[in-house]
Amino acid sequence: MRRRFAVASFSLAVVLGCGTLPAAAAAPADASRSALAVDALAAPDVDVTKMRAHLSELSAIAGRNGGNRRSTTQGYRDSVAYVKGKLQAAGYTVTEQPCTSGCTSGAGPNLIAEWPRGDTNNVYMFGAHLDGVSAGPGMNDNGSGSAALLENALTLAQQNPTMRNRVRFAWWTDEEQGLNGSKFYVRSLSSTQRSKIRAYYNFDMVASTNGGYFINRITSSAAAPMKAYWDSLGLRPEENTEGAGRSDDYPFEQVGIPTSGYAMGASARKTSAQATKWGGTAGSAYDPCYHRSCDTLTNIDTIGLNRAADGIAHTLWQQAVS
């Protein structure tokens, strides 16, 4: 997520696979998702172990390239190559879109992947920024959104359901320098192309270790399937006020495309009411390692990551699968 405020100097270590957020007291177990969450469209369960494997690879890429995956570095370009290779092997039409204006000099490309099924006049987009900051490897910000998106794309290909509408995935460059990759993409679309995008869903920091459950534009019709899924788990999500205008949904919103998405929070601090509802530590940042060197594999809440990824699948199936 693009920075707007100074980061509080907190530290918190969490072992990958042992998320810090307990299940909501009134929530059913995630494995036994309610009838609301698994209605007749039967969205699949997205494998969190495979998402963690993607995160491990992104971490290794950062480690081989100066410890980060900033948009202008080989670490970012290697991240693009990793995601692209997985998508091409799964049967996606994949395009690298160079950002030829408005991006930081030397920034790598956007990566756009379209599943070649469904009505091309009705497109649902799902996106996450793939770049990080110079301070660290960027595992929560935004390896988490990137990994959740990638495994959803691969799950869709594996399931290969009959598609009613078209699905397009995007991994954005240069978000941390001003949402530049997504701004360029939106500018590159004709008015006709924009009109075919029925909704854009964004996923930025979906595994914060002291996080909450936030939805962009939570009362909008685009958000309805996302909210329905988290409601079915008893999570009682809230509006993502901290993230408003700070991530890659904003350029789409500015041109009138409906937007939503999941987030678990950045440098803002968890309230007492939120700690009572979701667990975690009141008064501490949602992600104490936001834009810091400690945003490593230990800075991932696997429970939150799993709930976000399954909510993405539910939304995708609701909006696009026949």
Residue-wise DSSP of 256-271: T--EEEEE--SSSBPP
pLDDT band for position 110 (cuts 50, 70, 90): very high
Q: What is the pLDDT of residue 41?
A: 59
**How does pLDDT run across 64-76, given as a tens digit for each residue?**
999 999 999 999 9
Query: In which residue are the tokens 């869709």 written?
Result: 156
Q: What is the pLDDT of residue 322?
A: 87
Q: What is the pLDDT of residue 12?
A: 32
pLDDT band for position 42 (cuts 50, 70, 90): confident
Q: What is the pLDDT of residue 1?
A: 83
**If you ran DSSP here, which 8-state letter would residue 223 be given?**
T
- Active-site residue (options: 175, 176, 242, 253): 175
Residue 161, CA distances (Å) to 114, 154, 157, 317 in order: 15, 12, 8, 9
Q: What is the pLDDT of residue 26?
A: 39
Q: What is the pLDDT of residue 31?
A: 41
Long-range contact pairs involving 58-64 (C-beta distance under 8 Å, separation at least 24): 58/82, 58/137, 58/138, 58/139, 58/143, 58/146, 58/147, 59/137, 59/139, 59/143, 59/296, 59/297, 62/132, 62/136, 62/137, 62/138, 63/137
Query: In which residue are the tokens 């440098």 written?
Result: 267
Q: Indicate the helix (H) or strand (E) that contains 277.
A: helix 272-278
Please, what's the b/e burial string for 287-301 (b: 16 or more CB within 10 A of its CB; e: otherwise)? Answer: bbbbbbebbbbebbb
**How does pLDDT run across 271-282, given as a tens digit for each residue?**
999 999 999 999
Tokens of 81: 């190559």
Yes or no: say if 37 and 233 are a contact pair by the CB < 8 Å rule: yes
Residue bearing the bigger pLDDT, 292 or 22:
292
Is 253 assigned a catalytic role? no
The alpha helices in 103-195, defined as continuous H runs, are 145-159, 180-188, 191-195
**How does pLDDT run across 117-155, given as a tens digit for each residue?**
999 999 999 999 999 999 999 999 999 999 999 999 999
**How does pLDDT run across 201-254, given as a tens digit for each residue?**
999 999 999 999 999 999 999 999 999 999 999 999 999 999 999 999 999 999
Q: Which residues contact 6 (CB under 8 A, 6 or more apart)?
A: 267
**If you ran DSSP here, which 8-state letter would residue 139 be given?**
I
Q: What is the pLDDT of residue 5?
A: 38
Q: What is the pLDDT of residue 126?
A: 99
**How does pLDDT run across 152-199, given as a tens digit for each residue?**
999 999 999 999 999 999 999 999 999 999 999 999 999 999 999 999
Say yes or no to pLDDT of 257 above 90.
yes
Say yes or no to pLDDT of 32 above 50.
no
Q: What is the pLDDT of residue 9?
A: 35
Give the separation between CA 85 and CA 276, rounded to whole angstroms: 43
Say yes or no to pLDDT of 40 above 90.
no
Average pLDDT, the chain: 91
